[in-house]
Structures are given as C-alpha cells and as structure tokens.
Amino acid sequence: MRINLMFRILSKSLLRTIISFLFISFFLLGNPSHAQSIQIFDENAEIALGKKSDEGIIKMYGLYEDKVLQDYVNEVGQKLVDALDEPTFQFYFKVLDSSEINAFALPGGYVYVTHGILGTLNSEAELAGILGHEIGHVIAHHGVKQLTKSLGLTLLSLGGVLANPKEGAKWLMVSRSIFNQILLGYGKEAELEADTLGLINAYQTGYDPIQMIKFLRGLKFKEMISGHTYHSFQATHPDTRDRIIRAEDMANSLVRKNKKIELFKENYLSHIAGIKYGGKRNVMDKRLYRKKKFIDLYRVKEGDTFDSIAEQQLGEKKRAMDIAILNNRSLKKQLKPGETIKLVREKS
C-alpha cells in the first residue's frame, strides 16, 4: 500500500519508453553479464521518471510545512550543484514530513531529506555531506542503472504485461519491486561511489568533509543502541564499518590539501530550532503520538555538564545520555561555555 502511491502516477510516456527498448531484452537474456552495463533510459526519461515519482513521494510523506527550512535546504543543495563540473540535471531539494532518519534521491535530480534526519545533524557541513552523497547517486545514474539491472532480465515478460491492460496488477508488482530497491539503497559499490563523490563535492563547495564521517559514526552508534537504521547503511551491511573507514580516509586526504573549509554549525542550528522531533513516519502511519516533541537550542553556561543540563532543563538527570547522543558527543566530553547544543522538549 505504501509503495503503491508512487507507481499509480507513472506516466504513459515512461511506459512507452520501456516498450521502445524491449528488443534489448533478447540480448540481455542471452548475455546476463551485460544487464548492468546497458543504460535503457536516456536523460529525458530519467527526468520524466523522477518527476512522476516525485508526486508519489510527496503523497507518501508530505512536505514539511516550513518554507524557511525548505528554502535553506534547497540553498545548500544548489551551492553543491553549482560546484559540479557538469550538473547534467536541474536539481530539486525537498524536506519531507517524516520522522524517519532518511535521505534519498530519485533519477532526474530529485533529492529528499526528512525532518527526522535534519534533527540528528549538527552542522551545515553534515547536511552538505548528506546532500552531496545523494547528488552523487543522481549524477552517477545509480537509479537508472538499478532499473536496468532489474528490468534487463525481465523485459521480455514485461512486454506482455505492458501490452495487456488486464496485467496492470502485475506491472504494479514489478514497479513496486524496482522502486523498493532504489529507496533501500543501490548496493555496496554504488554507495561507496556516492560517498566519494559527495565528500569531494562538499569539500569543493567549502565544507569540512570530516563532519560527514562524524555523523556516520554517530549514527552507527545510535543504530546499535536503538535498532533504527539509516537506509544507506542497509545497502552496505555488514560492511558499514569498513565503508566508514574508507570514507574517512578520503575525507582526511581532502583536508590535507589545506583548502579553507567551514562547519557553519550556528547557522544550521538556527534553521532547525523548533523542528519536529519524532512523530509520524509517513501518511500510512496511523499511530497516535500524544507527546509533541521539538528541537530546542541551549547555550552552554560555565560549569554545565550533560548531567546538570538534563536535570535543570529537562527535569531528569537520566536524560543526559540522550542529550549527548543527540549532539553526537561523548557523555564525558567537557562542554564549552557559549557553545550551542540541541535539546528535545515536549510542547505544553
């Protein structure tokens, strides 16, 4: 049901594009090793696919209702695009109304982040790393390559499905399977390539690439504690640790070039102040969330510790660990007077 929303809006032009390439199936069936190397869709078809799929994504999640935040995320994304040698596509960056810790991209230049992942980030440099990774997926055509791999070995059977109006249910089933793969990640090699492209893109735009590594390490720790995972990790499990190490090596290599790089922490935190924390994952989530939580900012005072802040600001000393994790810090790490940290509060 959740995925169905996306595929009901697939255009007839896209189906015609697939049908026009059916002859390739004979070659692919006889040469399975070539299934991934042939790109079935051209860039115009990628744009059409992304545009129509975007409608399904918005129906599934909804846009987060904060124009200032939407504009800010788009602004950061467009800065990254401007630093590319050949952007290929016009890019669209959108914040989804979902508590999932997620970011993903569709073919044709559509990039999404959830309010859930924005609440876990601690600087604009981290946001740039996330967006750069997803931009990497788009410019490397990972989505269309995944479709080629999935469709290539089934194009012949798809011909019958598409030619027969009564086979709509089967086409929906095939579409659901394909997009499920895209949304859950593109596989180990594609994720590693997107890591590299994203780190380089962020660095060239003036952001500290090390911050993306800190975010990934913090998220991995949070995953071990809570069991909630970032979709990009699923594509490289159980090799996520090695992936982070490889990305760290790349980031350290970039930093050694001594280019001026920034975190823009305060600017980022000011934009997510008040953002929803937790709540519904998508429109199909019918659970009742009685407690309305949001991200608040706190300016550290002389002598403050995570324990004292938890007790004085949230009324529970045991929430000190939650504050440390939220800010991707060690519970024992000393706080600096004047720095800004995030807290989760409940609306009264």
| CA neighbor of 103 nearest in space, from 92, 118, 89, 84 | 118
Q: What is the pLDDT of residue 5?
A: 42
Q: What is the pLDDT of residue 88?
A: 87
pLDDT at 42 over 60: yes
Q: What is the pLDDT of residue 145?
A: 80
Q: What is the pLDDT of residue 6?
A: 43
Q: Tell me: the pLDDT tens digits for 104-135?
A: 998 899 999 999 999 999 999 999 999 999 99
Q: Tell me: the pLDDT tens digits for 1-21?
A: 444 444 443 444 444 444 443
Q: What is the pLDDT of residue 218?
A: 84
Start-end ranges of CATH 3.10.350.10 in the chain? 290-346
What gap in Å lies between CA 305 and CA 301, rounded to an integer?
9
Q: Which residues of 11-43 are buried (b: 16+ CB within 10 A; e: fewer)?
A: eeebeebbeebeebbeebeeeeeebeeeebbee
Confidence class of residue 95 from pLDDT cuts 50, 70 and 90? Answer: very high
pLDDT at 276 over 90: yes
pLDDT at 217 over 50: yes
Confidence class of residue 162 from pLDDT cuts 50, 70 and 90? Answer: very low
Between the alpha carbon of residue 90 and those of residues 12, 36, 109, 206, 270, the distances in Å are 22, 25, 6, 21, 28
Three-state secondary structure call for residue 114:
strand
| CA neighbor of 208 nearest in space, from 139, 287, 124, 275 | 124
Q: What is the pLDDT of residue 62?
A: 96
Q: What is the pLDDT of residue 188?
A: 85
What gap in Å lies between CA 233 and CA 215, rounded to an integer?
13
What is the overall mean pLDDT for the chain?
Answer: 81
Contacts of 95 (CB under 8 A, 6+ apart): 63, 64, 66, 69, 70, 73, 112, 113, 114, 115, 118
What gap in Å lies between CA 276 and CA 294, rounded to an integer?
4
H/E run at residue 313: helix 306-314
Q: What is the pLDDT of residue 146?
A: 76
As a three-state string, the secondary structure of 65-99 is CCHHHHHHHHHHHHHHHHCCCCCCCCCEEEEECCC
Residue 301 CB coordination number (10 Å): 12
pLDDT at 51 over 90: no
What average pLDDT does the segment 139-157 reach?
Answer: 67
**Model-level pTM?**
0.83
Domain covering 290-346: architecture: Roll (3.10)
pLDDT at 97 over 80: yes
Q: What is the pLDDT of residue 168?
A: 55
What average pLDDT does the segment 55-65 reach?
Answer: 92
Q: Which residue has the tokens 């079935």?
A: 40
CA angle at 11 for the pair 9 and 12, rounded to the nearest 5°: 135
Three-state secondary structure call for residue 299:
strand
Q: Tell me: the pLDDT tens digits for 133-147?
A: 999 999 999 887 876
Q: Which residue has the higher pLDDT, 30 or 197?
A: 197
Q: Which of 145-149, 216-220, 259-263 has the lowest mean pLDDT?
A: 145-149
pLDDT at 236 over 80: no
What average pLDDT does the segment 288-307 reach?
Answer: 96
pLDDT at 235 over 70: no
Confidence class of residue 43 from pLDDT cuts 50, 70 and 90? Answer: confident
Contact 182, 143 (CB under 8 A): yes
Confidence class of residue 30 from pLDDT cuts 50, 70 and 90? Answer: very low
pLDDT at 298 over 80: yes
Q: Which residue has the higher pLDDT, 338 or 225?
A: 338
